[in-house]
Amino acid sequence: MKYSRLTKEQFEELHQEFINFLATQSITADEWVGIKTNTPEVAEQELDVFSDLIWEGVLSKVVYLEHISPQQMHLFHCTATHMRLIALKIKDPEIDITTNEGYAWFKDNLMSDNVEFYTAKKEYSEDKGVDKFKLIQEGATITKGQLYQYFENLVSK
């Protein structure tokens, strides 16, 4: 398995897609019940293959990722050949930007000495899907990139 198995809730949400997946392999509903009962290891393999297919589809469309922790914000732009990073670090340990109050402070003090900006560029490894997946496993979320674009405009001035 390349990524991770979908959760029970994700499988339930993708029920119709899973049925279609089984149909592409000429597996009927009755046959699926039999596979689960008689050869659970084959059923597990099918679940893993389906999970990887779903992850491949999702990761191929990811353009922006964000990872926000109490004192840091990592904003990623995933291009065709590399990732660009804008990182912000809060130097005051009392400030937690994951709270409403901390984020309000952050917006008001963006250009103060208590906020450091960093930028970086990193080429993908041999598999950019795995690179993106690792960031998601570490807590990044897929976004539309509004924060990245906002800070890119600030940093480029």
Q: What is the pLDDT of residue 127?
A: 93
Mean pLDDT of the chain: 93
Q: What is the pTM of this model?
A: 0.87
At residue 115 the predicted structure's pLDDT band, cuts being 50, 70 and 90, is: very high
| Confidence band of 156 (pLDDT split at 50, 70, 90) | confident
Local confidence band at 135 (pLDDT 50, 70, 90 cut-offs): very high
Other beta carbons within 10 Å of 7: 10
Residue 111's pLDDT is what?
A: 87
Q: In the sheet where 72-78 sits, what is the strand order?
A: 115-123, 82-90, 72-78, 64-68, 141-143
Residue 129: CB partners within 8 Å, gap ≥ 6?
A: 2, 3, 55, 56, 59, 60
The pLDDT of residue 157 is: 62
Compute the average pLDDT of residues 91-107.
93
Banded model confidence at residue 73, pLDDT cuts 50, 70, 90: very high
Q: Which helix (H) or strand (E) holds 96?
A: none
DSSP 156: T
Q: What does the block give as tokens for 17?
A: 């897609």
DSSP count for the chain of H helices, then E strands: 7, 5
